[in-house]
Structure 1
Amino acid sequence: MTSWKIGLLFSETGVTSIIERSQLNGALLAIDQINAKGGVRGLPIEPVHYDPASVTRKYGELAERMIVEDKIGVIFGCYMSSSRKEVLPVVERRNALFFYPTLYEGFEYSPNVIYGGACPNQNSVPLANYLMNAYGNRFYFVGSDYIYPRESNRVMRNVLRQGGGEVLGEVYFDLAAKQADFSGVIDDIMDKKPDVIFSTVVGQGCIEFYKSYHAAGGDSRKCPIASLTMNEGEIDAIGCEASASNITAAPYFRSISSPANRSFLKAYEKKFGSTVDVTSGCEAAYSQVHMFAAALEETGEIDTESLREVLLGASFEAPQGQIKIDPDNNHTYLRSCIAKVNDAGEFVIQAKVRRAIKPDPYLVFPTIHDWSFRTLRVAGGGRKNE
Structure 2
Amino acid sequence: MTFSKMLTGALLGAIMSTTAFHGAFAADDTIKIGVLHSLSGTMAISETTLKDAMLMLIDEQNKKGGVLGKKLEAVVVDPASDWPLFAEKARQLISQDKVAAVFGCWTSSSRKSVLPVFEELNSILFYPVQYEGEESSRNIFYTGAAPNQQAIPAVDYLANTEGVERWVLAGTDYVYPQTTNKILKAYLMSKGVKEEDIMINYTPFGHSDWQTIVSDIKKFGSAGKKTAVVSTINGDANVPFYKELANQGVKAEDIPVVAFSVGEEELAGLDTTPLVGHLAAWNYFQSVDPMEAAYIGFNAWVKAVEAAGTTDTDKVLDSIIGVSVPNLSGGYATVMPNHHITKPVLIGEIQSDGQFQIVQQTAQVVGDEWSDYLPDSKDLISDWRKPMSCGNFNVASGKCGGKGM
> What band does the TM-score fall into relative to the shorter chain?
0.7 to 0.9
Residues 185 and 198 in structure 2, CA contact (< 8 A), matched pair in contact too: no
Residues 30 and 287 in structure 1, CA contact (< 8 A), matched pair in contact too: no
1:126 equivalenced with 2:150 (yes/no): no
CA distance in 2, matches of 1:100, 1:75: 9
So what's the TM-score if we normalise by structure 1?
Answer: 0.85
Kindly state the Cα deviation for residue 133 of structure 1 after the two structures are TM-superposed.
1.6
Matched residues, percent identical?
32
CA distance in 1, matches of 2:298, 2:217: 42
1:144 equivalenced with 2:172 (yes/no): yes
1:23 equivalenced with 2:47 (yes/no): no
Q: Which runs of 5+ in 2 are unaligned?
A: 1-27, 375-405
What residue is the counterpart of 2:299 in the other structure? 290
Task: Tell me the secondary structure at the aligned position of residue 296 of structure 1.
Answer: helix
> C-alpha deviations, 1:218-263, integer Å up to 9, x for none?
1122211111111110111333224321111111111xxxxxxxxx
AA aligned to 2:134 is F
CA distance in 2, matches of 1:24, 1:155: 30
1:325 equivalenced with 2:335 (yes/no): yes
Residue of 220, 230, 235 corresponding to 2:252: 220
Residue of 318, 322, 344 corresponding to 1:313: 322
1:362 equivalenced with 2:370 (yes/no): yes
Give runs of aligned pairs for residues 265-304 of structure 1, distance below 5 A: 278-304=287-313
Residues 82 and 146 in structure 1, CA contact (< 8 A), matched pair in contact too: yes
AA aligned to 2:355 is E
Kindly state the Cα deviation for residue 365 of structure 1 after the two structures are TM-superposed.
8.4
What residue is the counterpart of 1:70 in the other structure? 97
Give runs of aligned pairs for residues 163-242 of structure 1, distance below 5 A: 163-166=191-194, 167-178=197-208, 181-193=209-221, 195-242=227-274
So what's the TM-score if we normalise by structure 2?
Answer: 0.81
Kindly state the Cα deviation for residue 62 of structure 1 after the two structures are TM-superposed.
0.1
CA distance in 1, matches of 2:231, 2:193: 16
Task: Tell me the secondary structure at the aligned position of residue 359 of structure 2.
Answer: strand
Residues 141 and 169 in structure 1, CA contact (< 8 A), matched pair in contact too: yes
CA distance in 2, matches of 1:340, 1:162: 27
Residue of 224, 243, 253 corresponding to 2:285: 253
What residue is the counterpart of 1:346 in the other structure? 355
Residues 33 and 73 in structure 2, CA contact (< 8 A), matched pair in contact too: yes
AA aligned to 2:334 is K
What residue is the counterpart of 1:377 in the other structure? none
CA distance in 1, matches of 2:275, 2:140: 34
Kindly state the Cα deviation for residue 108 of structure 1 after the two structures are TM-superposed.
0.3
Task: Tell me the secondary structure at the aligned position of residue 68 of structure 2.
Answer: coil
Larger Rg: 2
Residues 320 and 335 in structure 2, CA contact (< 8 A), matched pair in contact too: yes
- RCO higher in structure (CA 8 A, sep ≥6): 1
Residues 34 and 290 in structure 1, CA contact (< 8 A), matched pair in contact too: no
CA distance in 2, matches of 1:78, 1:237: 24
> C-alpha deviations, 1:100-134, integer Å up to 9, x for none?
11110001000001110000111111111100122
AA aligned to 1:326 is M
AA aligned to 2:320 is L
> C-alpha deviations, 1:13-37, integer Å up to 9, x for none?
1111122112112222211111001
Task: Tell me the secondary structure at the aligned position of residue 269 of structure 2.
Answer: helix
CA distance in 2, matches of 1:161, 1:235: 32
AA aligned to 1:177 is H
